[in-house]
């Protein structure tokens, strides 16, 4: 199975090609350039470097969210355009799941933390099975950090934190986390297309690929205007 995976959900943008369980090529850029400018050139390069063609892909995978609203749409629109052009299925991968998939061989809980602003984090709780597949203990959600730390403490297992939220929340974690914990290294700190591709392979086998027209980003939040309108009582 061949998969082209892309991610533009956070600070970095990346693209990877996975073929028969092997990451053939991966590009990752995190240098403040806009995803709109970096993503398509990366797709072009990663396909060329993989030695495969877009038409060889069985599916296009993209982080479906949560993440930066604009970034999610750049990723989603790009994935839709590629899937439509190739006439292939599109598979959306929960961003927090993809982030957790960066880690392998860890015994304990994996807790990705994405900076969601407004004093919240996009997070979830995961662990790995004996054969190293990802098990979701708490599905991705947008909650205050103290909420997820309370859950982590209650579960009582050694925990690894990763994601761009580590930098933002480090002090509070050190203060409130009661279980033994560590932070992931720089090489697996942020979401990457290779992790997306690995999960996508599993999703495709589970029949979760969809027609390009049906894919929509998962924001986990309504827009500010909708929130304010709801507060005002739908006036």
Binding residues for another protein, rule: CB under 8 A, are: 34, 36-37, 39-41, 43-44, 54, 69-70, 73-74, 76-82, 84-86, 212-213, 216-217, 219, 223-226, 229
Nearest distance from C-beta of residue 165 to another protein, angstroms: 22
Give 59 or 162: the residue with its C-beta nearer to another protein. Answer: 59
Nearest distance from C-beta of residue 59 to another protein, angstroms: 14
Give 153 or 213: the residue with its C-beta nearer to another protein. Answer: 213
Nearest distance from C-beta of residue 222 to another protein, angstroms: 9
Give 40 or 52: the residue with its C-beta nearer to another protein. Answer: 40
Q: In what side-by-side order are the strands of the sheet with 13-19?
A: 22-29, 13-19, 2-7, 59-65, 89-94
132, 165, 142: which is closest to 227 by C-alpha?
142
Nearest distance from C-beta of residue 189 to another protein, angstroms: 26
Nearest distance from C-beta of residue 44 to another protein, angstroms: 6
- Tally Cβ neighbours within 10 Å of residue 192: 27
Give 205 or 230: the residue with its C-beta nearer to another protein. Answer: 230
Give 38 or 102: the residue with its C-beta nearer to another protein. Answer: 38
- Check the CA dihedral 21-55-53-103 and report its sign: negative
Q: How far apart are CA 59 and CA 66, in angstroms?
A: 21
Q: How far apart are CA 165 and CA 123, in angstroms?
A: 9
Q: How far apart are CA 223 and CA 229, in angstroms?
A: 10
């Amino acid at each position: 199975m061949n998969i082209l995976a892309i991610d533009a959900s956070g600070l970095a943008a990346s693209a990877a090609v996975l073929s028969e369980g092997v990451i053939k090529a991966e590009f990752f850029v995190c240098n403040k350039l806009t995803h709109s400018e970096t993503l398509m050139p990366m797709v072009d390069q990663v396909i060329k470097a993989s030695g495969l063609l877009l038409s060889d892909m069985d599916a296009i995978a993209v982080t479906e969210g949560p993440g930066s609203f604009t970034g999610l749409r750049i990723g989603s629109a790009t994935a839709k355009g590629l899937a439509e052009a190739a006439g292939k299925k599109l598979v959306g991968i929960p961003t927090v799941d993809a982030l957790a998939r960066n880690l392998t061989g860890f015994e304990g809980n994996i807790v990705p933390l994405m900076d969601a602003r407004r004093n919240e984090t996009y997070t979830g709780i995961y662990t790995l099975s004996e054969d190293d597949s990802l098990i979701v203990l708490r599905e991705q959600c947008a909650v205050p950090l103290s909420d997820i730390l309370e859950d982590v403490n209650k579960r009582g297992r050694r925990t690894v934190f990763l994601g761009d939220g580590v930098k933002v929340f480090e002090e509070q974690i050190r203060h409130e986390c009661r279980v033994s914990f560590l932070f992931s290294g720089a090489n697996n700190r942020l979401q990457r297309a290779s992790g997306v591709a690995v999960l996508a392979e599993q999703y495709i086998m589970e029949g979760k690929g969809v027609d390009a027209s049906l894919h929509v980003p998962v924001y986990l939040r309504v827009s500010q205007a909708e929130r304010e309108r709801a507060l005002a009582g739908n006036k």
